[in-house]
């Protein structure tokens, strides 16, 4: 095992102590509030690298000039053909994921010609920002991404005079769409500055409309509440299920409306279910580290479950960052001879961060240092800063198309439970988030066996219990090929699922959800490696949700059915603290 230089270990261990107080952090924090947390220095580095190498690449310059001329000729030819035949063949097709110009109104002139010119321009800038020798891969990706974001701002779909759908709505409603859009904008702005949830979220009150599966809070410490759900069957499977969600989200994404609740689904299938509800940190929790979340979160919850259901192994489940943490805890348990886990299920959880997708564009030394300075002032990463970064990854869907519909068309998208949950965001403690970014994203310590628990490195190869890993095809937070790497990192039987949908919608996938499908296959620990593309071609495809497949898998890895355990573990008397959903989930 290679050893990390002592100076680097020290820097990773205490990022908050990198330098004494100065003017840097207040300045960077002030800049961050204006740039939504994006480091100007990081962007400058990327664009300088790109510009310098482009300036010294005459062959690339000639290639770009030739491409520009060919595109203009192709566009001019299309415009001439369109004058005679308005429905002639397009000169460029939108990318499959680009739905901005899919409406019927966009297929009439001059609007087709307008968006065709925009797509050609967008394609040329992609050519201009990629394929330049000498530019670092990271800087190339940053420049290409930011340039695409800037071009998306001036998309013809975003302006009334060049968007035929907006023009149609204006004619039909006599301009009423703009009046309603202005009212929508004012209402959204008022709610934003006052911290009030978005319009429609009031229909999904926690504990009344969502998070209503019956249960009790049976344990509480400074970081978690542990919820035990009431049984819905006369007997239950002997091995309880302990779910650890990410603390970047509130736990009730797994207990939304009854028809969308994974918790309710498991309980009705005869499982004893426990869920960790994380406290929403404030500046007072600034010094809580990643190890605190493992020790006070996963391990403490596991101790409580083991006390309630003694002499039984536990099905461990982790979602997103909670899955990464549970994988670390499982590796440490295996190293130390702790055999309390029966299985490990990971939902949209990464354990290797070398292919973490476009989220890596926001993570390099310059950007991480900038974020640390922002967090140092308030002691946590603010919810709006995190939300902004995630929205940029899907700006067309989450920002521009929503703005066009709400403010130009004057129509609000109906609020659903998942959208209301998404608006109920949480914060990230300074120390924990800094360690997470540096140790996992920047250094990839976990996959490289450098991540230390109790002063000693852990290895995911020590995990021998069966693993069920779920990924989603459109996940922009944990790309499925990154999640897939769990098969290389463990010496366990891994059942891997690839579901349609995104990071959240693909996980909230009840059996009666329309248009759901998934692929599933099991890789035995003694079988040869299969790359993700070959896996995708060979894995069995099924229509419907992956929930039944997982529940069947849990049953196969359970021993027998027994009477339900007492709530809180006490047969006589009350060993509970309060009704679910508890207090922590209600904290703003």
Q: How far is it, in rounded angstroms, from Cα 199 to Cα 402?
A: 14
Strand pairing report for 561-562 and 341-347 = unpaired
Cα atoms in the Cβ-side hemisphere of radius 13 Å centred on 76: 6
392 pLDDT tier (thresholds 50, 70, 90):
low
Q: pLDDT tens, 138-182?
A: 999 999 999 999 999 999 999 999 999 999 999 999 999 999 999
pLDDT at 261: 97
CB-CB contact of 434 with 442 (8 Å): no
Q: How far is it, in rounded angstroms, from Cα 54 to Cα 68?
A: 16
Given 83, 88, 320, 549, the catalytic residue: 320
pLDDT at 514: 85
Give the chain's domains with CATH numbers.
36-161 (no CATH), 215-354+444-586 (3.40.50.1820)
DSSP 388-441: HHHHHHTHIIIIIHHHIIIIIS--PPPP-HHHHHHTS---EEHHHHHHIIIIII
Q: How far is it, in rounded angstroms, from Cα 403 to Cα 160?
A: 12
Q: pLDDT tens, 297-315?
A: 999 999 999 999 999 999 9
pTM of the model: 0.90
pLDDT at 17: 46
Q: Using CB atoms within 10 A of its CB, is residue 334 exposed (0-12), middle (13-18) or buried (19+)?
A: buried
Q: pLDDT tens, 118-142?
A: 999 999 999 999 999 999 999 999 9
Catalytic status, residue 88: no
CA 429 to the chain's CA centroid: 18
Element (H, E) at 116: helix 111-129
CB-CB contact of 325 with 244 (8 Å): yes
116 pLDDT tier (thresholds 50, 70, 90):
very high
b/e burial code for range 161-184 (CB count within 10 A of at least 16 → b): ebbbbbeebbeeeeeebbebbeeb
Strand pairing report for 215-220 and 224-229 = antiparallel
Q: How far is it, in rounded angstroms, from Cα 228 to Cα 234?
A: 16
């Amino acid at each position: 095992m290679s050893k990390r230089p002592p100076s680097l270990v020290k820097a990773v261990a205490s990022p908050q102590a990198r330098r004494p107080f100065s003017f840097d952090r207040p300045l960077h924090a002030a800049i961050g509030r204006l740039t939504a947390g994006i480091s100007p220095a990081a962007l400058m580095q990327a664009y300088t690298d790109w510009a310098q190498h482009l300036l010294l690449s005459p062959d690339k310059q000639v290639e770009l000039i030739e491409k520009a001329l060919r595109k203009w000729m192709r566009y001019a030819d299309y415009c001439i053909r369109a004058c005679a035949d308005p429905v002639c063949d397009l000169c460029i097709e939108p990318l499959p994921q680009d739905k901005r110009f899919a409406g019927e109104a966009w297929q009439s002139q001059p609007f087709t010609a307008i968006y065709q010119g925009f797509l050609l321009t967008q394609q040329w800038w992609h050519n201009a920002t990629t394929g330049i020798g000498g530019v670092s891969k990271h800087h190339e990706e940053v420049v290409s991404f930011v340039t695409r974001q800037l071009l998306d701002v001036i998309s013809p779909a975003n302006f009334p005079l060049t968007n035929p759908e907006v023009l149609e709505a204006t004619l039909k409603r006599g301009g009423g769409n703009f009046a309603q859009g202005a009212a929508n904008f004012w209402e959204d702005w008022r709610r934003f500055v006052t911290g009030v949830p978005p319009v429609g979220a009031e229909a999904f009150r926690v504990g009344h409309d969502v998070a209503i599966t019956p249960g009790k809070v049976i344990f509480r410490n400074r970081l978690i509440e542990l919820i035990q759900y009431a049984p819905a069957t006369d007997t239950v499977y002997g091995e309880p299920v302990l779910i650890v969600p990410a603390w970047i989200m509130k736990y009730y994404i797994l207990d939304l409306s009854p028809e969308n609740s994974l918790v309710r689904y498991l309980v009705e299938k005869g499982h004893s279910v426990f869920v960790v509800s994380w406290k929403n940190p404030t500046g007072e929790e600034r010094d809580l580290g990643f190890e605190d979340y493992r020790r006070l979160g996963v391990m403490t919850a596991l101790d409580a479950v083991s006390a309630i259901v003694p002499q039984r192994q536990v099905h461990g489940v982790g979602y997103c960052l909670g899955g990464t943490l549970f994988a670390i805890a499982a590796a440490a348990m295996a190293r130390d001879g702790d055999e309390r886990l029966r299985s490990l299920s990971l939902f949209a959880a990464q354990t290797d961060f070398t292919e973490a997708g476009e989220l890596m564009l926001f993570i390099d030394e310059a950007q991480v240092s900038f974020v640390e300075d922002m967090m140092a002032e308030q002691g946590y990463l603010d919810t709006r800063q995190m939300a902004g970064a995630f929205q940029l990854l899907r700006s067309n869907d989450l920002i521009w198309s929503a703005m066009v519909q709400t403010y130009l068309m004057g129509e609000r998208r109906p609020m659903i439970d998942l959208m209301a949950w998404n608006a109920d965001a949480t914060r990230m403690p300074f120390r924990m988030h800094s360690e997470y970014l540096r140790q996992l994203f920047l250094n990839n310590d976990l996959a490289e066996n450098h991540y230390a628990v109790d002063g000693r490195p852990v290895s995911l190869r020590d995990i021998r219990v069966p693993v069920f890993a779920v990924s989603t095809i459109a996940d922009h937070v944990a790309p499925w090929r990154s999640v897939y790497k769990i098969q290389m990192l463990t010496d366990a039987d891994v059942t891997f699922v690839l579901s349609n949908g995104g990071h959240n919608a693909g996980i909230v996938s009840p059996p009666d959800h329309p248009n759901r499908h998934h692929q599933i296959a099991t890789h035995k620990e003694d079988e040869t490696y299969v790359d993700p593309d070959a896996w995708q071609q060979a894995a069995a495809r099924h229509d419907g949700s992956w929930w039944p497949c997982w529940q069947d898998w849990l049953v196969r890895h359970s021993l027998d059915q027994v009477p339900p355990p007492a709530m809180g573990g006490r047969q006589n008397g009350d060993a509970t603290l309060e009704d679910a959903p508890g207090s922590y989930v209600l904290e703003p």
